[in-house]
Amino acid sequence: MAATCSDSTGFQTSLESETKVSIHNVNLSGIELTINVKLKNPSGGSIKVKHPFVKMIYADKTVASSQVKDANIEIPKFSEVNLEPIRIKLGFLNLATTVPALIKEYRETGKLNLVVHTITTINDSLPYTKIDNITFGGGKPA
């Protein structure tokens, strides 16, 4: 998804994002995911973007989310910025009580299918949300 807005001079700016999620660590208490977000500005004007908020959803329930940060990220014209990786922990006990179907699906298929929302604001005025369907795991029953 791309968002386009105009600045005070009428110049149009755009934002595109690329979100990749990987399993960072698995231990007895749960899974730690790493979310890498790349923000892209394919337009001729620089833009200011709030640090993205990321949430993971399974069957219309929020499974986990990142912390909210009040930080601005400047993206120069025709440029892209790779953010520091965002880490989110998914505790097995929490998953088992809030979304038991997710654990069942993982045991049966060896995969986790989540919807990832990347949410931010462009130039303090234009809301931006990108939704990605992401599958984890090797596909072998656990």
The per-residue pLDDT for range 49-94, each reduced to its tens digit, is 999 999 999 989 998 899 999 999 999 999 999 999 999 988 888 8
Q: Is residue 57 part of a domain?
A: yes
- Read off the tokens for 107: 């045991």
- Which domain range does residue 85 map to? 2-136
How many domains, the chain? Answer: 1
Q: Is residue 58 part of a domain?
A: yes
Q: Is residue 141 part of a domain?
A: no
Give the pLDDT confidence score for residue 11 in this predicted structure. Answer: 44
Q: Is residue 16 part of a domain?
A: yes
Environment class of residue 51 by beta-carbon count within 10 Å: exposed (0-12), middle (13-18) or buried (19+)? buried
Spatial CB neighbours of 68, under 8 Å, sequence gap ≥ 6? 53
Environment class of residue 46 by beta-carbon count within 10 Å: exposed (0-12), middle (13-18) or buried (19+)? middle
Q: Is residue 79 part of a domain?
A: yes
What is the tens place of the pLDDT at every residue in 113-132? 889 999 999 998 899 999 99
Q: Is residue 100 part of a domain?
A: yes
38 neighbors 17 (Cβ within 8 angstroms):
yes
Q: Is residue 131 part of a domain?
A: yes
Give the pLDDT confidence score for residue 2 in this predicted structure. Answer: 53
CATH number at residue 103: 2.60.40.10
Q: Where are the alpha helices (DSSP H) in 1-142?
A: 92-98, 100-109
Q: Is residue 142 part of a domain?
A: no
What is the tens place of the pLDDT at every residue in 8-41? 444 456 889 999 988 888 888 888 889 999 999 9
Give residue 142's pLDDT band: very low, low, confident or very high (50, 70, 90): low
Give residue 111's pLDDT band: very low, low, confident or very high (50, 70, 90): confident
Which residue, 123, 35, 117, 119, is CA-closest to 82? 35
